[in-house]
Amino acid sequence: MYKACIFDLDGTLADTLESLVFSVNQTLQEMGLPFITEEQCRRFVGNGARVLIEKALLTSGEDAKSRLEEGMERYRRIFDANCTYHVIPYEGIETLLDVLKKRGMKLAVLSNKPDAQAVKVAEEVFGRGRFDQIQGQKEGVPRKPDPSAALAIAKSLGATVEETIYIGDSEVDIATGRAAKMLTIGVAWGFRGAKELKEAGAGYIVGSPDEIIKLIEKKEENGHE
């Protein structure tokens, strides 16, 4: 039986793209630089705030190395105030979380979003106590796709890697789950889509949250095989 489920946040549990586009463009505006598009932002998300701002600066025609620290300082302030801007759960996600809870599973969030904002978004959008653990990017902890954080979360939830499921929407998530040797599920409704998930090596790709329940039930019936 599966005992724990670890979710990515952006593009998996919630549609956070507007908050990211708004915060990045407010940062660029303060720096006197042109905006990036929503599609560009979608492509830049997934590897943490620093990579996001670095790519945004490069797209704006600036030398990212020379202004990256300035950009990060501004972005931290702006994003902290706007990280829940127009953020909504994807359809069916809240029902999925409820079903998993009723099955006795522990639920966690692991994001490359800065830790404070990951906690803020998860708790404000889904309510405090919905997740047993919420973790964003922290100093001294390797960011995904390094599996260290996922493995530590599983252990803290009292589950082995064989008893833990990892769910995400990007190539970073697929690499994370596979490196942790957990059942890894890619969701096609997020920031990348089924084609890129398949190219990233996803063994399982679902198109709706209810398919996750069906997959779990099937895997458990077959002894996780």
Measured between alpha carbons, how far is 165 from 182 in angstroms, rounded to an integer?
6
Asked if 121 and 16 count as a contact pair (C-beta separation under 8 A), the reply is yes
Strand partners, 88: 15
Q: What is the pLDDT of residues 110-148, one digit of tens each?
A: 999 999 999 999 999 999 999 999 999 999 999 999 999
Q: Provide the pLDDT for residue 64.
A: 85
Q: Provide the pLDDT for residue 2.
A: 96
Q: What is the pLDDT of residues 158-201, one digit of tens each?
A: 999 999 999 999 999 999 999 999 999 999 999 999 999 999 99
Strand partners, 183: 165
The candidate with the shortest Cα–Cα distance to 32, out of 85, 83, 70, is 70
Out of 97-111, 176-190, 209-223, least confident range:
209-223
Find all residues with CB under 8 Å of 18, minimum gap 6, and list them: 85, 86, 87
Q: What is the pLDDT of residues 14-34, one digit of tens each?
A: 999 999 999 999 999 999 999
Residue owning tokens 């997934």: 46
pTM given for the model = 0.94
Omega before 89 within 30 of 0, i.e. cis:
no
Phi, psi of 24 (to 5 degrees): -65, -45
Helix and strand counts by DSSP (H, E) for the chain: 10, 8
Q: What is the pLDDT of residues 52-90, one digit of tens each?
A: 999 999 999 888 889 999 999 999 999 999 999 999 999
Strand partners, 6: 108, 166
Helix axes of 64-82 and 115-126: crossing angle, nearest 10 degrees: 30
Measured between alpha carbons, how far is 134 from 119 in angstroms, rounded to an integer?
6
> For the chain, which domains are there?
4-15+87-221 (3.40.50.1000), 17-82 (1.10.150.240)
Q: Provide the pLDDT for residue 225.
A: 54
**150 pLDDT exceeds 60?**
yes
Q: Provide the pLDDT for residue 63.
A: 85
Task: Give the pLDDT band (50/70/90) at residue 224.
Answer: low
Q: Round the CA-based radius of gyration of the chain to a whole number and report it.
A: 17
